[in-house]
Amino acid sequence: MGVQMYNTLTKQKETFRPIEEGKVNMYVCGPTVYNYIHIGNARPAVVFDMIRRYLIYRGYDVQYVTNFTDVDDKIINAAQEAGEDVFALAEKFIDKFFEDTSALGVKRADIHPRVTETMDDIIAFIEALIEKGYAYESGGDVYFKTKSFPDYGKLSGQSTDDLQAGARIEVGEQKQDPLDFSLWKRAKEDEVSWDSPWGYGRPGWHIECSAMVKKYLGDTIDIHAGGQDLAFPHHENEVAQSEALTGQQMANYWLHNGYIQIDNEKMSKSLGNFVLVNELIREHDPQVIRFFILQAHYRHPLNFNSELVEASGAGLSRIRNFLENVRHRHRTSADFADGTEWLKKIQTFKGRFIHEMDDDFNSANAITVLFDFVKEGNLYLQEPHTSKEVLQEVMNTFEEWGEVLGLSFFAEEELLSEDIEDYIEQRVKAREHKNFQEADRIRDLLKEKGIVLEDTPQGTRWKRVSSL
């Protein structure tokens, strides 16, 4: 059946069929860079990074584009309040975005276009809309004629009749219709601006993404994604202006992630209950935060609190401890047990993982598969004889799954020097001969060298620590 995904445009799951066989063009709306990102911004960055990774795992060549809105009212206001240059402030928070998302295991996009670098394309796009009769200039502003696009509302399910009832023309606006939205804003005094056929100004929010999608990915793309809050009006307006210009469907599949809730309340700056990522990753392993985000289906609401994050940390530790035992058993065991049945079992687990991820990228159920594997794998490790081939395949499988989910399941292994290896071997022999005084002496000696030993039912494990 292949990959199934819920398409906001059609309100149902559909089998994914790319425009070009084996290739995927994917655009994800990025942040407006005027502050540090919060956990709500982190969720789309993480989940669509996971979806990108999974599509690559399934054999697709993915061209992935995420933009930066680096000029906007919010940025201008933040710069004024801070007494900083608008462009310097935007650059600072682009750097902070990369720092925070990199910590969360998010790979950089293939292209990260910026509004300030796409200005000529945006202006040309608006000019073309005016020429085709879909937009008009009014007092230095340019607006899109919403009612000139008959399919307006098809993405979000909004109708122009319903929208008309609550629509108003704000003071200073010179619209022909309350539903019309801004494509170009006339510059205020001493405000950053660009020259255009309509005078100095800057783009409206929605036109930016339409211009970037067209420039970097074409008239019709495979997947357009973003947060649920963007479906209307941002994505709806993108659809209208892009399809009005090109006469082509803008995107074949629209994906939207669910909201973040803080202690079961919708996160919002007005409530003051938002959590900044750069503060969060000082308190928690960033990998735990990513694991927490992926333990819910991307379209469902996600409730955040410290207790839930800590529970995710315990779950991730469970997987890591299992794999550390597997690695130790593989390194120290000389067993050559028949692994045929377990190799078949591993393939079954792999099939289950793919089945869950194929079903609209259900990372929550996929992670359940991992826990089921760990449960059975721990029983296997209790057997007196294990197969090195099986143990290696277990590690290989979790490396594959870790790459898909963007999670590091294995602690970085450092090689012991030959001397320390000899000490560990001597201690094992001392314990076998019940010479516990000698075993303790070697343990204390290794501790001085920064090597901590742990005796487990599977044998002696070690870890290197930077300070004792």
Structure confidence at residue 454 as a pLDDT band (50, 70, 90): confident
Burial 413-428 (b: 16+ CB within 10 A, else e): eeebeeebeebbeebe
Residue 132 marked ligand-binding:
no
Question: 376 versus 467: which is more confidently predicted?
Answer: 376
pLDDT score, position 168? 67
| pLDDT above 60: residue 466 | no
Determine the structural domain holding residue 422 and report its residue range: 418-464
Please name which of 393, 385, 403, 410 lies closest in space to residue 347, comparing C-alpha atoms: 393
Tens of pLDDT, residue by residue over 13-51, are 999 999 999 999 999 999 999 999 999 999 999 999 999
- Distance, in Å, from the CA atom of 294 to the CA atom of 288, rounded to the nearest integer, reads 10
pLDDT score, position 465? 63
Span 213-225, average pLDDT? 98
Tens of pLDDT, residue by residue over 394-415, are 999 999 999 999 999 987 655 4
* HEC letters along the chain: CCCEEEECCCCEEEECCCCCCCEEEEEECCCECCCCCEHHHHHHHHHHHHHHHHHHHCCCEEEEEECEECCCHHHHHHHHHHCCCHHHHHHHHHHHHHHHHHHCCCCCCCECCEHHHCHHHHHHHHHHHHHCCCEEEECCEEEECHHHCCCCCCCCCCCHHHHHHHCCCCCCCCCCCCCCEEEEEECCCCCCCECCCCCCEEECHHHHHHHHHHHHHCCCEEEEEEEHHHHHHHHHHHHHHHHHHHCCCCEEEEEEECCEEECCEECCCCCCCCCEHHHHHHHCCHHHHHHHHHCCCCCCCEEECHHHHHHHHHHHHHHHHHHHHHHHHHHHCCCECCCHHHHHHHHHHHHHHHHHHHECCCHHHHHHHHHHHHHHHHHHHCCCCCEHHHHHHHHHHHHHHHHHHCCCCCCCCCCCCHHHHHHHHHHHHHHHCCCHHHHHHHHHHHHHCCEEEEEECCEEEEEECCCC
Residues 102 and 72 in one domain: yes
* 244 within a domain of the structure (yes/no): yes
Residues 140 and 239 in one domain: yes
Last residue of a domain, one of 358, 382, 405: 405
Residue 269 marked ligand-binding:
yes
Last residue of a domain, one of 405, 431, 450: 405
Residue pair 27/212 in contact (Cβ under 8 Å)? The answer is yes
pLDDT score, position 163? 82
* 28 within a domain of the structure (yes/no): yes
pTM of the predicted model as reported, rounded to 2 decimal places: 0.87
Residues 172 and 314 in one domain: no
| pLDDT above 50: residue 115 | yes
Residue 328 marked ligand-binding:
no
Structure confidence at residue 145 as a pLDDT band (50, 70, 90): very high
pLDDT score, position 416? 52
pLDDT score, position 457? 72
Question: 161 versus 120: which is more confidently predicted?
Answer: 120
* 286 within a domain of the structure (yes/no): no
The whole-chain average pLDDT of the chain stands at 91
Structure confidence at residue 446 as a pLDDT band (50, 70, 90): confident
* 148 within a domain of the structure (yes/no): yes
| pLDDT above 90: residue 264 | no
Please name which of 363, 260, 307 lies closest in space to residue 39, comparing C-alpha atoms: 260
Residue 206 marked ligand-binding:
no
What share of the chain has pLDDT > 70, as a percent? 93
- Distance, in Å, from the CA atom of 421 to the CA atom of 414, rounded to the nearest integer, reads 12
Span 219-239, average pLDDT? 97
Residues 161 and 239 in one domain: yes
Q: What residues form DSSP beta bridges with 4? A: 15, 359
pLDDT score, position 432? 82
Residues 228 and 353 in one domain: no
| pLDDT above 70: residue 193 | yes
Structural domain total, the chain: 3
Residues 452 and 384 in one domain: no
Query: Lowest mean pLDDT: which of 203-212, 353-362, 396-405, 431-440?
Result: 431-440
Residues 216 and 324 in one domain: no
Residues 329 and 209 in one domain: no
| Helix pair 119-131, 236-246: axis angle to 10 deg | 70
* 63 within a domain of the structure (yes/no): yes
Residue 29 marked ligand-binding:
yes
| pLDDT above 90: residue 165 | no
Residues 241 and 109 in one domain: yes
Residue pair 340/393 in contact (Cβ under 8 Å)? The answer is no
Span 80-105, average pLDDT? 95
Span 106-115, average pLDDT? 97
Residue pair 132/68 in contact (Cβ under 8 Å)? The answer is no
Residues 430 and 401 in one domain: no
| pLDDT above 80: residue 1 | no
Span 252-280, average pLDDT? 86
Last residue of a domain, one of 229, 257, 285: 257
Residues 91 and 144 in one domain: yes
Span 299-313, average pLDDT? 94
pLDDT score, position 73? 92
* 283 within a domain of the structure (yes/no): no
* 249 within a domain of the structure (yes/no): yes
pLDDT score, position 467? 41
Residue pair 353/401 in contact (Cβ under 8 Å)? The answer is yes
* 289 within a domain of the structure (yes/no): no
Residues 133 and 168 in one domain: yes
Q: What is the CATH number of the domain that holds 394?
A: 1.20.120.640
Query: Lowest mean pLDDT: which of 207-221, 285-299, 432-446?
Result: 432-446
Structure confidence at residue 267 as a pLDDT band (50, 70, 90): confident
pLDDT score, position 418? 60
pLDDT score, position 440? 85
pLDDT score, position 438? 84
Q: What is the CATH number of the domain that holds 39?
A: 3.40.50.620
Residue pair 163/179 in contact (Cβ under 8 Å)? The answer is yes
What share of the chain has pLDDT > 90, as a percent? 74
pLDDT score, position 14? 98
